[in-house]
């Protein structure tokens, strides 16, 4: 590394500075520095103008409109992976997962040079609220921007994953992808025997007789079972309506398929639950075709490469109790397929 | 001599004739020039984040970009002050004798190489339609030049040998990296222990 530096000079023993360069040479040197400053200022100005134009629609820092100006026809790709929950696990360093996903999706679809979107789904579903949030945002942005949105299923888009896919214009799956599992689940644990063994007794003081419905510390009554069944039936009805509307499929045709069973991509195609058997490239091409793009589509991915690390760090900081991880003490309404160990 | 012209001379000399630049910095203490250099590099770093392929500043996206730009400049100035302080103390521990203010200016001038970052990326985008590889290449080349200039600044400011200047420069970085690695190892370890407890 020593050789990387110019010859050493003894600063602590000042010696007379060498005579400066000739005036002509100095003028040239100053003009050189001025040119570099002008180049920098020009670049900064161009970037700032680009940012200002973009921020009219998206109030966050994003110069991609400016920087991608040579690529006017893009297909945005955004991934939706894993169980869909509106968890707080990443809140320590940023927005919760669903909020961050919706923001990324919106940012991508609102880009002027992005003509269509492909959502890569690989999810067994998730909580009803989180799934419906994504479903609703996808539908809203579709109608607002009038840009086609394609769902591409990798391994699995079951239950809530399929719910989200049904919000898209078309669904592309591999023949062996797993999909379907249309239904709702609400799992309630029962610890009564265990609590008897360890000598623990819970005494809830409640304002109404159903305030502790779903409590794991006692057996469920028939009345409670009926109430919960009504809740599940209602959420199930919402699922059916969403799929029926999204897929343009009559409820009578859909209902027999919606008993929670899963389908391969090929089976789902025959039944009309998906549109195309293909791969990620086919999904891109379909998106480009629906957007009326003439040239071969170029994909732009708006992912957050730090999100994984943030989630790991967040979970390490936060710590977990056995209950919070296993979900045993936290019953919730889910559009979730349990075949991948997803349902708790 | 015109004051503005003198500043231009210092910038030119810093790259082409370091001994002359050193004399000017000793004589004039051009702190304002140093500050401007830090501001320029800080703003460049913020703007660069808007290019595709860089860290997606999700956490910062709620901040309006002009404020983000200003923050970038201010952070660069503050980081410069902290780095100068750390390097000055390290240099004195190694027996060096020099001006902290002079070092602050020289380190700021070392940051000036980043003014080429934006033009390179714009050029890459204009010529090739994307900036990915050029991002990395520019980061590597400009970063190396900047580090080299910092080492030279330490050497000239404290009268060190080149080897000692590099040591003074890298020692705080090494300590910071080791501390960071230790912290990360702690986080990963605690996550693994938590997972093992649950199995």
Separation between Cα atoms, residue A159 and residue A123, nearest integer Å: 9
Which tokens hold the place of A272?
């009309």
Residues of B in contact with A306 (CB under 8 A): 55-56, 58
Min Cα distance B160 → chain A (Å) is 8
- Determine, for residues A63 and B19 on separate chains, whether the beta-carbon distance falls below 8 Å: no
Residues 23-62 of B with CB under 8 A from A: 23, 26, 40, 43-44, 46-47, 49-52, 55-62
Residues 141-170 of B with CB under 8 A from A: 148, 151-152, 155-159, 161-163, 165-166
Separation between Cα atoms, residue B7 and residue B33, nearest integer Å: 7
Extents of the domains making up chain A: 55-204+211-340
Separation between Cα atoms, residue A232 and residue B126, nearest integer Å: 56
In contact, A134 and A101? CB cutoff 8 Å: yes
The per-residue DSSP string of chain B comes to: --HHHHHHHHHHHHHH-HHHHHHHHHHH--HHHHHHHHHHHHHHHHHHTTSTTS---GGGTTS-HHHHHHHHHHHHHHHHHHHHHHHHHHHHHTT----HHHHHHHHHHHGGGGGGHHHHHHHHHHHHS--HHHHHHHHHHHHHHHHHHHHHHHHHHHT--HHHHHHHHHHHHHHHHHHHHHHHHHHHHHHHHHHHHH-
DSSP state of A69: T
Catalytic residues of A: 159, 211
CA–centroid distance for A144 within its chain: 19
**Closest by Cβ to B155, choosing from A8, A39, A63:** A8
What is the tens place of the pLDDT at every residue in B10-56?
888 888 888 888 888 888 788 899 999 999 999 888 888 776 555 54
With CA atoms as reference, the chain A residue closest to B45 would be: A44
Which tokens hold the place of B20?
């002359």
Q: Does the structure show a pLDDT above 80 at B85?
A: yes
Separation between Cα atoms, residue A161 and residue A134, nearest integer Å: 10
Looking at residue A232, what is its pLDDT?
Answer: 93
Residues of A in contact with B165 (CB under 8 A): 5
- Is B4 in CB contact (< 8 Å) with chain A? no
Residues of B in contact with A37 (CB under 8 A): 115
Looking at residue A331, what is its pLDDT?
Answer: 61
Residues of A in contact with B47 (CB under 8 A): 44, 47-48, 51, 63
In contact, A331 and A188? CB cutoff 8 Å: yes
Looking at residue B168, what is its pLDDT?
Answer: 93
Q: Does the structure show a pLDDT above 80 at B65?
A: no
**Owner of token pair 């770093």:** B45
What is the DSSP pairing of strand A74-81 with strand A298-301? parallel
Looking at residue A132, what is its pLDDT?
Answer: 94
Separation between Cα atoms, residue B146 and residue B110, nearest integer Å: 5
Residues of B in contact with A300 (CB under 8 A): 52
- Determine, for residues A30 and B97 on separate chains, whether the beta-carbon distance falls below 8 Å: no
Specify the CATH class of A55-204+211-340 in words: alpha beta
Which tokens hold the place of A109?
């679809």
CB-CB neighbours of B180 under 10 Å: 10
Separation between Cα atoms, residue A168 and residue A148, nearest integer Å: 8
Burial class (CB in 10 A: 0-12, 13-18, 19+), A321: exposed
Separation between Cα atoms, residue A174 and residue A278, nearest integer Å: 5
**Closest by Cβ to A67, choosing from B19, B59, B131:** B131
- Asked casually if ipTM beats, i.e. exceeds, 0.85, the reply is no
**Residues contacting residue B195 through CB under 8 Å, at least 6 positions apart:** none
What is the tens place of the pLDDT at every residue in B128-168?
766 677 888 888 999 999 999 999 999 999 989 999 999 99
Separation between Cα atoms, residue A268 and residue A252, nearest integer Å: 17
Separation between Cα atoms, residue A274 and residue A276, nearest integer Å: 6
- Determine, for residues B19 and A17 on separate chains, whether the beta-carbon distance falls below 8 Å: yes
CA angle in degrees (0–180, nearest 5) for A77-A83-A86: 90
- Is B178 in CB contact (< 8 Å) with chain A? no
Separation between Cα atoms, residue A312 and residue A325, nearest integer Å: 14
Looking at residue B35, what is its pLDDT?
Answer: 92
Looking at residue B164, what is its pLDDT?
Answer: 93
DSSP state of A21: P
Residues of A in contact with B65 (CB under 8 A): 51, 55, 60-61
Q: Does the structure show a pLDDT above 60 at B93?
A: yes
pTM over 0.80: no
**Per-residue tens of pLDDT for chain A, all 344 residues:** 444 555 555 444 444 555 566 677 788 888 888 888 898 888 888 777 766 655 343 333 344 433 433 456 788 898 898 888 876 544 444 445 788 888 889 988 988 778 999 999 999 998 899 999 999 999 999 999 999 999 999 999 999 999 999 999 999 999 999 999 999 988 888 888 888 888 888 888 888 888 888 888 888 899 999 999 999 999 999 999 999 999 999 999 999 999 999 999 999 999 999 999 999 999 999 999 999 988 778 787 765 544 444 444 444 444 443 344 444 445 677 888 766 554 44
- Determine, for residues B50 and A29 on separate chains, whether the beta-carbon distance falls below 8 Å: no
Separation between Cα atoms, residue A106 and residue B9, nearest integer Å: 49
- Is B182 in CB contact (< 8 Å) with chain A? no
């Amino acid at each position: 590394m020593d050789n990387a530096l110019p010859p050493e000079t003894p600063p602590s023993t000042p010696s007379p500075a060498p005579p400066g360069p000739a005036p002509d040479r100095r003028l040239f040197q100053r003009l050189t520095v001025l040119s570099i400053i002008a180049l920098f200022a020009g670049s900064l100005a161009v970037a700032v103008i680009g940012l200002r134009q973009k921020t009219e629609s998206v109030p966050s820092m994003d110069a991609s409109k400016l920087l991608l100006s040579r690529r006017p026809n893009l297909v945005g790709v955004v991934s939706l992976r894993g169980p869909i929950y509106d968890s707080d696990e990443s809140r320590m360093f940023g927005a919760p997962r669903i909020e961050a996903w919706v923001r990324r999706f919106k940012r991508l679809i609102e880009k002027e040079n992005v003509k269509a979107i492909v959502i890569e789904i690989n999810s067994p579903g998730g909580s009803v609220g989180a799934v419906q949030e994504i479903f609703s945002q996808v539908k809203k942005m579709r109608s607002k921007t009038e840009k086609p949105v394609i769902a591409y299923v990798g391994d699995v888009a079951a239950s809530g994953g399929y719910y989200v896919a049904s919000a898209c214009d078309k669904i592309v799956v591999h023949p062996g992808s797993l999909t379907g599992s249309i239904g709702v689940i609400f799992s309630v644990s029962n610890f009564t025997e265990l609590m008897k063994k360890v000598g623990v007794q819970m005494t809830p003081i409640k304002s109404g007789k159903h305030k502790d419905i779903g409590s794991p510390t006692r057996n469920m009554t028939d009345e409670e079972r009926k109430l919960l069944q009504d809740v599940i039936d209602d959420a199930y009805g919402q699922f059916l309506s969403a799929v029926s509307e999204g897929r343009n499929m009559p409820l009578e045709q859909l209902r027999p398929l919606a008993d929670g069973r899963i389908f391969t991509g090929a089976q789902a195609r025959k039944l009309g639950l998906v549109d195309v058997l293909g791969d990620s490239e086919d999904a891109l091409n379909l998106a480009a075709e629906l957007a009326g793009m003439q040239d071969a589509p170029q994909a732009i991915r708006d992912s957050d490469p730090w999100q994984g690390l943030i989630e790991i760090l967040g979970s390490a900081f936060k710590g977990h109790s056995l209950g919070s991880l296993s979900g045993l003490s936290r019953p919730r309404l889910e559009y979730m397929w349990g075949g991948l160990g997803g349902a708790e | 001599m015109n004051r503005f012209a003198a500043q231009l001379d210092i910038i030119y000399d810093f790259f082409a004739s370091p001994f002359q630049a050193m004399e000017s910095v000793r004589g004039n203490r051009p702190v304002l020039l140093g500050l401007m250099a830090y501001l320029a590099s800080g703003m460049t770093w913020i703007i660069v984040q808007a290019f595709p392929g860089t860290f997606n500043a999700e956490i910062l996206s709620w901040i309006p970009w002009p404020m983000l730009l200003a923050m970038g400049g201010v952070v660069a100035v503050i980081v410069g002050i902290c780095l100068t302080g750390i390097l000055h103390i390290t240099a004195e521990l190694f027996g060096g004798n020099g001006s902290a203010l002079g070092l602050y200016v020289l380190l700021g001038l070392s940051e000036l190489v980043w003014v080429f970052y934006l033009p390179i990326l714009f050029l890459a985008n204009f010529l090739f339609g994307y900036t990915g590889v050029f991002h990395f290449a520019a980061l590597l080349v400009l970063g190396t030049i900047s580090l080299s200039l910092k080492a030279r600044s330490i050497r000239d400011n404290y009268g060190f040998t080149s080897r000692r200047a590099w040591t003074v420069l890298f020692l705080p970085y090494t300590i910071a990296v080791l501390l960071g690695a230790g912290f990360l190892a702690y986080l990963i370890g605690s996550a693994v222990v938590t997972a093992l407890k649950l199995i």
